[in-house]
Amino acid sequence: MVKLNRLGRSGLFVSQISLGTMNFGSSGPGACTTGEASRIVGRFLEAGGNLIDTADIYTAGESEKILGQVLKGRRDSVLLATKGGLGAGTDPNARGLSRRHLTRALEASLRRLGTDHVDLYQCHVWDAHTPVDETMATLESFVRAGKVRYLGCSNFTAAQIVQAQWAADRARSTPFVALQAQYSLVARSVEAEILPVCRDLGLGTLAWSPLGGGLLAGRYRRGTAPDADSRVSRTKESSRAAAAWAKAVLDPVNLDIAEALRTIAGELGVDSATVALSWLLTNSSVTSVVIGPRHVDQLTGNLRASEFELPPAVIARLNDISAATTVKPVTGRGLLTTGR
């Protein structure tokens, strides 16, 4: 069974493996249909998972719609998280963390999800054009209206987290209790400043892309063309930012890490994904890892990490082989294009 951790400085307990739904409704090879999404959610809940994460921009809102459908009759068993702040098109008022956009974004998310509230509402990226006091006051109004239970942010820098928490403190309003950040064996830059700030200011950490875009699950190997249904193959032609992301995933240093990870996993008699996820969960700063399966079999394999314990010597080896990682957290612009 999946274990539970307390989320930051709150009374909420979340599963240390969270279900990310970015692939729900995706098109093309390996698309996650409503039927498969329902099976994934059912298996996740059976295993003791309780936190399911989505966002208004995932598959142009289709992820939230599908999730709303599959949660009918089991909404009370789930801690539902979504995000707002990104947008499409050229209208500057149709994106960002302003009162106007966030209010519209939350109402639209609630309609698609078929619920009157979300348990965790997260600012998807920092908005340099909106005063942080306006953003935090808007989020507080959501909490007071009963439409949101807890607040969080995603992809904020350490300084931005501090600014937001200070704004909430000045207004004596609800602070953030969670940060979603890119974190894995091939993306460890959050360890320098962001994780310490989260610990000091009471934010739990939800690690997204814990398998490095599939690299740490054995999806890509040096000298072998990626499968047609892999994320790299599906996104590398869609935009410049997506192509840059695909290139970064297959960076030679990252491929070296993936190869060393496979060796270690073989010695332990488990798959690479189990080791990569377990390594993250050894860090007390990590509250939960957000996995994004497109099939039930992928989910089942990932769930094993919650019960697998890495020997201290193996943890030290993994720390050493990943010390020179080069993948960095993506920017807001990259998120807008790639959807994460």
Alpha-carbon gap, residue 186 to 107, rounded angstroms:
36
**pLDDT of the residue at 242:** 67
Residue 118's H or E segment, with its range, is strand 118-123
Please say whether the beta carbons of 152 and 120 come within 8 A.
yes
| Strand, coil or helix: 322 | coil
**pLDDT of the residue at 226:** 61
Q: Give pairs for 330-333: CB < 8 Å, separation 24+.
A: 330/155, 330/182, 330/245, 332/86, 332/125, 332/126, 332/155, 333/241
Q: What is the mean pLDDT of each run of 10 residues along the chain (340 residues)?
A: 96 98 80 93 97 96 97 96 90 94 98 98 97 98 98 98 98 98 96 96 98 91 64 61 74 93 97 98 97 95 94 97 65 41
**pLDDT of the residue at 142:** 98
3-state secondary structure 9-66: CCCCEEECEEEECCCECCCCCCCECHHHHHHHHHHHHHCCCCEEECCCCHHHHHHHHH
Domain chopping of the chain, boundaries: 4-213+280-308
What one-character DSSP code corresponds to residue 311?
Answer: -
Q: Got the DSSP string for 207-240?
A: EESTTGGGGGGT---TTSPPPTTSHHHHHTTT-H
Alpha-carbon gap, residue 98 to 85, rounded angstroms:
8
What is this structure's pTM? 0.91
Token pair of 257 as six digits = 């890490």
Pick the CATH number of 4-213+280-308 from 3.40.50.11390, 3.20.20.100, 3.40.50.10780, 3.40.50.300: 3.20.20.100
220 counts as catalytic: no
**pLDDT of the residue at 227:** 62
Token pair of 172 as six digits = 């004596």
The active-site residue out of 58, 121, 150, 183 is 58
**pLDDT of the residue at 87:** 83
**pLDDT of the residue at 334:** 41
